[in-house]
Amino acid sequence: MLLDKLASCSRISLRSCQTFVGRGKPTIGVRRETINAWERRAPLAPTHVKKLTKAGVTVLIQPSNRRVFPVQDYVAAGATVREDLSDAQLIMSVKQVPVDQLIANKTYAFFSHTIKAQPDNMEMLDTILQRKIRLIDYEKIVDKNGKRLVMFGKWAGNAGFIDILHGLGLRLLALGHHTPFLHMGLAHNYSDSHMAINALRGIGYEIALDKMPRSLGPLIFIFTGSGNVSRGAQELFEHLPHEFVDVAMLPKVAQKGQLTKVYGCVVTRADHMVPKNGGAFNKAEFEEHPERYISKFATEIAPYATVIINGVYWDARTPRLITIPDAKHLLTPQHKYEVPGCPTLPHRLVAICDISADPGGSIEFMNECTTIDKPFTIYDADFHTTTDSFDLPSGCLVCSIDNMPAQMPLQATEQFGNLLYPYIFDMLNCATEQPFDRLVCRPEVKGAIITNEGRLTPNYEYIADLRSAKAAASHHKARVMGADEKKVLLLGAGMVSGPFADFYSKQAKVHVTVATESREDGHRLAKSDNITPLVVDVAREHDVLEQLVREHDQVVSLLPFGFHPMVAKMCIKNKTDMVTSSYVSPELQALDSAAREAGVTIMNESGLDPGIDHMLAMECIDEVKEHGGKITSFVSFCGGLPAPEASDNPLRYKFSWSPKGVLTALLNPAKYLQDGKVVEITSGKVVDHLYPIDFMPGFNLIGYGNRDSTKYSEIYGLGSDCKTMIRGTLRYKGFVESVKALDSVGLLSTKPQDIFNPNLGPDPTWKQLMASLLNQRQDIFPDSLRNIAAEKVGGVNSAGMKALQELGLFSDNVADRHGNALDTLAPYLAKILAFNENERDLVVLNHDIGVRLQSGSLERHRVSIVAYGEPNGFSAMARTVGYTCAVVSNMVLQGEIQKPGVLRPVTKEIYRPALKRKMAFPASAGRGVTQVIDRCEAAKTSGFLDLSSCTLMYIADAIYLVLKGFEVTKVSLRNNCLKKFPKKMINKFPNATIFNMEGNEIEEIPEEFEQWTLMRGINAANNKLTTFPHGIFSMKNLAILDLSGNRIEEIDVDRLYTSCPALLQLNLMGNPLKSETKSKLRTSPSKPAKISLKVD
């Protein structure tokens, strides 16, 4: 019957016992690979072409000098060289075809990378559909069990293993270790695998002779997967002196393994995939429902790995091997004792070779493939960024080249052709002239057809659904890196919203919608194109708010805390993450289980207090615990204040946020733990239990308890060893007396009263309001009213009475009423006690932490912050709250925080990266205040002022005052946040000989720099310098100069060399130097004879 139907077709009997059923002579076209410069493979080698031509198939091949086999070899095999392939029924290539080169109504075969709806290839897929091309994808030629039959896998594994050994050698060298791996080249440096194996054996010989640095410890290679990729990598690994161990042995090997060999561990799904509901791994269930499983790879396997070779297939339903939060845990530097010159590794995991090359896949933080030109990147988990520099003190080397077999094109092409050849004739029979439902080909080939007649074939219709889902899903639903622009909904446009909006105005691919009642406030924040204001009354327009929540990836609520539970419920309902800077209220905590069940992150307490206080506390606490110590007491006070010069008013306070909240805080109850006893203070009595403040005495501070401090013993994980737990608020002396006076006369009452009703009668004066509050007639004689008030507040000459008078509360000024005393007083105080032009606010945070060391001795750790606001700019309070909230918000948005539920930033994977992102924190962050003071004291005797890594934004005058009269000859400002050169330092330390300002953001060095004529060593690497500092020309004794990592293009080379004849080391790497400058640096006759020059 079939023969009758095919009577009009040519029948060419092939030696493989297959029959060509198409019209005319069977013809194959082989494309020239154009995807990148390194793609030298072909789908068929000359040996395969020779077999085809002998079987009667015409092979057309496009000319290419890049192809690993020269075109003359194909001609000798019987192929015809032709640019035009339109006569071919089947057009073949290895990689994707540019859309402008796709010929309509043809059958194509190549790796399309479309089966997971990869965004980069959707335009090509659309063109294929539009032009009615029949697409065969090699990746989907599989057997009945889904096992791939045609692949380059082995060579991907070979090349990946070679590449990662090369990168490992470079990374270990940057970390301070010479190893035999430095002798390994990249895979394309070897003509074939046999040459690479010879190099591997040489490395193995050195390892066997015990030439590995001992401080590295045992090296463990983890291989994921059991397919061709993994086996290809293992095949080369076995040429090193090695031992394979199972997963259970990894902890022992990591501790006691030998250094004369390397260890390998092949990890299968059964080793780490665990059913969520308990029980054993079930292969059939996993393949059908991978979402029912969780992976323990990051917690039970990766912590012991030195190198991970990843070759597993991943789809969106499958648990990842390593998530972004996992990476923060794995890549946190460990505190270890080190012998100088023999460092230990910052963390055990040094390198990952992700041969799967799946951005945002099983290794989630791998969000972009590397290339053969630039094969490596270092992932910094603290900043969730990558860099090409190998010199980071911590971070993981990543190699994720997506075309690794192209590095070994000869053998890869030969083997791939061997696997593909048996299916060639079936593919020829899939010419578009043959109806899809009557194709004469094996099911393996028919099942690999992705498109037909302008449609996806039935097996691949899911691609359209997957595309739609990706387009609609927000990142917290899909958790796929590299998605399109993400959307943040900011609720509230108050003072702390300014820095928040400023942070996001600089973020790419993030759009912020500001929802506020005030159009003016919204437009104030919309200073960049990615911020849009929207007028919304959150309290009333619930439907509008819920729609906004649904349309955004994240909600950030900077509204008063009372709104948070309502917003959180909407976020849980719509599976939208949420971030706030406020305390976790009982109402919000009650939503924890619902949030966890919905997979929604609700991150709270991400401001200053609460926020930075938690992070700095936990940083210290965790460090103490890591060294075997215990916390015996925790006393923390924080306050937002006017700078001392702006505090001359009765309250000793000015308002940069809600006066109502400031005033009522003193009326709240408080509870804390002191010397093992719980102290409870009833409402309104906090002011009678002031805490003595012994730090920073110049500020003249007082402190009082804040809310329930006792719960933080559990939140901080302190246990019963901590006998004192106090968290409180700071104010200047005099504040409490003034607030007590306001309370005594009834001005802090929230009870509605007719006299405060704006709808009843004419507006009264403040004197008349006071008379009413004191139950007196409104026409009472002023002196009599003051005397009655004085009796309430402690006397005519009391501080409280003085405050009432100076605040104008007995004046004839008309009051603006708001229903009750407090709501009327608050806006009045906000107006008369607002910050004036050029005035600054101040933030002070101090932790005093009692510690019992493992030895039994006691210590006190002090962690402090002092930050000033910017005159006429962002206040210190706005900066510390707004930027911190933005940093944490962005961590949630980028998938760095994925844990669902109601959270606080008290775990290392959150606080460590947040604290390191400098923008969020003020000049003396961390242990800055005590740290700077201690370092200044040390400089008095050593002459070395070491202010490195103090998060300084400027150099305070106090530093020069402390060191007045002392000679400083060496200065380090390394790794701070300086944007301007500290010019005053040149005059204060005229005899300086060594100066290090590496790792700041300084753009220009002033001319005064030339006054440092005794200078012998300068390190200004990794700043933003655009011009060469001319002051250097006056430093004839200069021996070392490092300007690497800047933006310098030109240098007067002859003047430099003649002005600095003593120059021994000059590093200009990483600058965009002009070619003529580079040439002069190398060849100038003035070049010092002994100079060591580093130039790109």
Q: Which residues have a catalytic role annotated?
A: 609
In degrees and rounded to multiples of 5, residue 903 shows phi and psi of: -120, 165
Q: Please state the separation of Cα 151 from the chain's center in Å.
A: 35
What are the C-alpha distances in Å from 353 to residues 225, 373, 403, 544, 999? 13, 16, 13, 47, 29
Q: Is 334 exposed, middle or buried (0-12, 13-18, 19+ CB in 10 A)?
A: exposed
For the CA atoms of 455, 461, 465, 470, the dihedral, rounded to the nearest 10 degrees, stands at -80
Q: Please give the Cα distance from 691 to 705 (Å, whole number).
A: 8
Tokens for 472? 């609609």
Looking up tokens 């090699």 gives 138
- The torsion angles phi and psi of 529, rounded to 5 degrees, stand at -65, -20
DSSP-assigned states of every residue in 326-380: HHHHHTSPP----BTTBPPPSSS--EEEETT--TTSSBTT--S---SSS--EEEE
Which residue carries 């640019």 as its tokens? 83
Alpha helix stretches (DSSP H) within 473-611: 475-478, 497-504, 519-525, 542-551, 564-573, 586-589, 592-598
Helix (H, G, I), strand (E, B) or coil at 97: coil
Contact predicate 172/180, CB 8 Å: no
- Rounded CA separation 115/553 (Å): 26
How far, in Å, CA of 333 to CA of 1094, rounded? 30
Dihedral in degrees, nearest 10, Cα atoms 1061, 1063, 1068, 1072: -10
For 25: left if phi > 0, alpha if psi spans -120 to 50, otherwise beta; the answer is beta
CA atoms within 13 A on the CB side of 290: 15
Query: Three-state SS string across 690-753, please?
Result: CECCCCCHHHCEEEEECEECCCHHHHCCCHHHCCEEEEEEEEECCHHHHHHHHHHCCCCCCCEC
Q: Which two tokens stand for residue 75?
A: 């001609």
Q: Measuring CA to CA, which residue among 68, 133, 71, 45 is closest to residue 96?
A: 133
* Angstrom distance (rounded) from CA 913 to CA 884: 11
Q: Nearest 5°: CA angle at 495, between 490 and 497?
A: 25
Q: Is 540 exposed, middle or buried (0-12, 13-18, 19+ CB in 10 A)?
A: exposed
Q: Residue 264 and residue 1020: Cα distance in Å, rounded?
A: 43
| Sign of CA pseudo-dihedral 1033, 1034, 1039, 1043 | negative
558, 582 contact by CB (below 8 A): no
Q: Tell me the HSE value of 955 on the side-chain side, using a 13 A CA sphere.
A: 24
DSSP 51-84: HHHHTT-EEEE---SSSSS-HHHHHHTT-EE-S-
| Distance (Å, whole) CA 589 – CA 904 | 11
Which residues sit opposite 531 in a β-bridge?
A: 512
Question: 């301070």: which residue's tokens?
Answer: 176
Is there a cis peptide before residue 610, judged by omega within 30 degrees of 0? yes
DSSP letter (8 states) at residue 870 = P
Amino acid occupying residue 511:
H
* Segment holding 601, helix H or strand E: strand 601-603
